[in-house]
Amino acid sequence: MNVLFIHDAFPAQFGRLALELVRRKGWDCRFMVQSLSSCPTPTPEMLRELEIRQVPLAAEHRTSDGIPWPQIHGHFLEHCRTIMEAVRSTSPPLPDLVVAHGGRGAPTLFLREVLDCPIVVYCEYYFATHRRDISYRIDLPPAEPAQFFPRCINAPTLSALVDCDAGYSATAWQRDTFPARFRHKIKVYFDGIDTDLYVSGRSSRRIGDVTIPPGARVVTFASRGLESIRGFDLFMKAAQRIAAARSDVVFAVAGGEEIHYGWDKLHTGAPSFKQWVLGQDSYDLSRFFFLGRILPEQLADVFRMSDLHIYLTAPFVLSWSMLSAMASGCVVLASDVGPVREVIEPGVNGLVEPLFDVDRLVATALRVLDDPAAHAPLAAAARRTVLERYSVETCIPPLGDFLERVAGRGV
């Protein structure tokens, strides 16, 4: 079977999936992407086995500084048109199935003009007007577009969803963010965590040039961007108090300073949420290692040295990093929100506390750091959870079968 994967970036959600489909089912997987990702980067095997065509947007539709929210739909349509023209010019064979992702709607809307095959869209998320995602942090100063953005941002998502044959979400919580009328069309299949890479064991105990002394406790925090939706500010508040309580703790923070979601620049007036947060208090930065964006292999090493991983997301798409940390045998302390609760059973395979309750976050963190042995069963259970429910080995077969059913129009 010939499958065309469409995504902004490669490998992102589809690279590993496609590689597994090539290996396991012998499918021919092609990609149309705007760019190759730097985090994570494509593996040599992916580049060897998969046909990847970069289809950049026309120069006038590219921007490095975000798209003004009223123009997002137009940008989406231009992306749809670019993809349509690219498919039109593709040499045979034509795909038997299209699988497409778009953070703001899969760019498949015009493909029916040039293709007659089923289309599957990856239903990542449907934005809410309140109490979720970028509307959740009402504790921050108001940002003017926040009132309007959620009322129009879903237009591309809805258009693609109406048009597609089937969709899938990585978690039930994500699926349930979509309007109820569409849920029959959206199945739940997780992408798959690489449990060979993210595995517990000996770490280098080195962060950059610094060697972590034996006996020191390492607390980790990871997020693609250090931003409010992932609770970076709340982590820093908690970390400061943990640092005050224990002199042997260091904090390894992975993530860039880019803002991927929300209005942090408007909330704060600062170009970097991280810098704004650091300016709010006097932190002992000698205890913090800000690693920036790092490769998966480096992140896996950081997780292996972690005594406690803190994950403080608002109700939003669950980060791969939390599951990767669990796969690595970390004790995870996370915010008590819907997407986390789908994975973590408190006291069994991790710990949760209310997102804004820094007192409780600190108290729980200190209990873990005071007695790691007592909390080791949580880490073991976390690893088991990922192996049983979220590993590549577990997730790819049913997802492949689903795609096969859709290709046969069996949905």
User: Binding residues for other proteins, per CB under 8 A?
Assistant: 70-71, 73-74, 77-78, 80-81, 84, 109-110, 112-113, 147-148, 151-152, 154-156, 158-159, 162-163, 179, 181-182, 185
Nearer to other proteins, 153 or 337 (CB): 153
User: CB 67 → other proteins: shortest distance, Å?
Assistant: 11
User: CB 14 → other proteins: shortest distance, Å?
Assistant: 24
Nearer to other proteins, 164 or 226 (CB): 164
Backbone dihedral region of 311: left (phi > 0), alpha (psi from -120 to 50 degrees) or beta?
beta
Taking the C-alpha atoms of residue 125 and residue 316, their distance in angstroms, rounded to an integer, is 8
Contact at 8 Å (CB) between 313 and 340? Answer: yes
Report the 10 Å Cβ neighbour count for 130: 11
* Residue 274, token pair as written in the block: 């991280």
User: CB 236 → other proteins: shortest distance, Å?
Assistant: 32
Nearer to other proteins, 78 or 357 (CB): 78
User: CB 85 → other proteins: shortest distance, Å?
Assistant: 9
User: CB 78 → other proteins: shortest distance, Å?
Assistant: 6
Nearer to other proteins, 109 or 317 (CB): 109
User: CB 154 → other proteins: shortest distance, Å?
Assistant: 7
* Residue 379, token pair as written in the block: 């880490």
Question: What string of DSSP letters covers 177-229?
Answer: TS-GGGGGGEEE----B-TTTS--S----EETTEEPPTT-EEEEEEEEE--GG
Nearer to other proteins, 112 or 206 (CB): 112
Taking the C-alpha atoms of residue 14 and residue 392, their distance in angstroms, rounded to an integer, is 12
User: CB 136 → other proteins: shortest distance, Å?
Assistant: 17
Contact at 8 Å (CB) between 274 and 298? Answer: no
Nearer to other proteins, 38 or 147 (CB): 147
Taking the C-alpha atoms of residue 258 and residue 101, their distance in angstroms, rounded to an integer, is 21
Nearer to other proteins, 24 or 151 (CB): 151
Taking the C-alpha atoms of residue 96 and residue 93, their distance in angstroms, rounded to an integer, is 9
Taking the C-alpha atoms of residue 367 and residue 217, their distance in angstroms, rounded to an integer, is 12
